[in-house]
Amino acid sequence: MLLTPRDEADVAEAIRAALARDAPLSIEGHGSKARLGRATQRERVLSLAALTGVTLYEPQELVLTARAGTPLREIVALLDAQNQQLAFEPMDHAALLGGARDEATIGGVIATNASGPRRIKAGAARDHLLGFRSVTGRGDVVKSGGRVMKNVTGYDLSKLVAGSYGTLAALTELTLKVLPKAETEETLLLSGLGAEKGLAALRKASGSPYEVSSLAYDPQADAAALRLEGPRISVTTRRDDLTRFLADFGGATSVLAAEESRAFWLRLRDAEPIAGEGVIWRVSLAPTDGFAFVERLRGAGAPIVAHVYDWAGGLVWLRLETAADAHATAIRAIVDALEGHATLIRADADIRARVDVFHPQPAALAALTRRVKEAFDPRFILERGRLRAEF
């Protein structure tokens, strides 16, 4: 059954009706992220697609408010007209999950905390969420935050709902910080270093004064990529200084000009280098451990088909051959030893119903997670089983 509320009041009414029937609801905008998370029974879907429209945009104040079902492409077009952007570069999952490109809604972006290569400098989606309106699993309308960034005493609920996959509340309206676009960008490529040396160069650059905004290593091209953004004269100067700074690593250097650079990072943002048949994992580690993780996984016999490093080695995208457990046992044993976490992004529904999609939490953190869930949604009406089998 598809429920199509027209406004926030309708959303609240739908959730209260579901509570009365103990009938769990899945929440979606355009459905572009429906295959993320554990596979659940989607018998009743609460669609927020009709909750659209930018309700406030003040370019001079760098703030925008939009209803949750507003297509991301419309917000991007509006910001483009003012030479502004969502600096966290929200990922488009179409290359990995299928479906059409540019179908994301702003509510889905925030609900999944979808962030791209610039996160290492600009922060994640949750860091740009100033405030929101939502309906909890109790059927209560909740407003949190405001239109400015400031230090306050109290609970930062924005950090809770961003990345909660709709399990705490159905987001109805969001207020975001936006930022000016850079005048230009370039990407410095260091080729022929090999993965271990290339990642070491990225880590050195990440601690430099040259304001590198994105750092990735593509094993297929054997290239370390470093993005520089800002005024043209600044980018040129920093590029030359950075080239000298990394000269001891050797290898060949080349430069992607603005358009080529944007295309490169767009492709990486959407994990296109690892798209294809198989299971997809997203592994987050300390940047110093990215290379070691992949080597240990190979040593354990895991059939890696493709992989790419982002965030100077702190994020590893993996595609492996399909297996009954999606190789979760091997991956999680190594990730646990390195104190990271691994998320199964794509696998068949039967695998996602059996295997923990999100990394298992320590007992104390799992208990806290459950208490937070119960505070917002005590009957587990919203996205039941999406994050954890038990709720």
**pLDDT tens digits, residue range 347-359?**
999 999 999 999 9
Count CB-CB contacts under 10 A for residue 63. Answer: 19
The pLDDT tens digits of the residues spanning 115-167 come to 999 999 999 999 999 999 999 999 999 999 876 544 444 568 999 999 999 99
| Domain definitions of the chain by residue range | 2-180, 184-269, 272-354
Q: How far is Cα 381 from Cα 253, in angstroms, rounded to an integer?
A: 54
Tokens 């100067």 identify what position?
237
pLDDT of residue 148: 54
- In CATH, the architecture of 184-269 is 2-Layer Sandwich (3.30)
2-180 against 272-354: fold identical: no
The tokens of 49 are what? 């697609």
Torsion of CA 100, 312, 290, 124, to 10 degrees: -50
The pLDDT tens digits of the residues spanning 314-349 come to 999 999 999 999 999 999 999 999 999 999 999 999
Q: How far is Cα 384 from Cα 391, in angstroms, rounded to an integer?
A: 6
pLDDT tier for residue 65 given thresholds of 50, 70 and 90 = very high
Q: Helices 290-299 & 328-337, crossing angle to 10 degrees?
A: 140
pLDDT of residue 151: 44
Cβ atoms of 227 and 122 closer than 8 Å: no
Question: What pTM, to 2 d.p., does this model score?
Answer: 0.94
pLDDT tier for residue 276 given thresholds of 50, 70 and 90 = very high
Nearest 5°: phi and psi at 9? -60, -40
Return the exposure string of 256-294: e unless at least 16 CB atoms fall within 10 Å of the residue's CB, then b: bebeebeebbeebbbbbbbbeebbbbbbbbebebbbbbb
**What secondary structure does DSSP assign to 347-375, as a single string?**
--HHHHHHS-SSPPPPHHHHHHHHHHHHH
CATH fold of 272-354 reads Alpha-Beta Plaits (3.30.70)
The arithmetic mean of pLDDT across residues 387-391, rounded, is: 88
Q: How far is Cα 111 from Cα 168, in angstroms, rounded to an integer?
A: 10
Selected residue with higher pLDDT from 1 and 147: 1
Q: How far is Cα 339 from Cα 334, in angstroms, rounded to an integer?
A: 9
Cβ atoms of 274 and 220 closer than 8 Å: no
Cβ atoms of 312 and 285 closer than 8 Å: no
Question: Which CATH number does 2-180 carry?
Answer: 3.30.465.10
Nearest 5°: phi and psi at 169? -165, 155
Question: How confident is the prediction for the chain on average, in pLDDT?
Answer: 95
Residue 145's DSSP bridge partners are: 131
Q: Containing H/E element for 76? A: helix 72-81
Q: How far is Cα 106 from Cα 70, in angstroms, rounded to an integer?
A: 6
pLDDT tier for residue 42 given thresholds of 50, 70 and 90 = confident
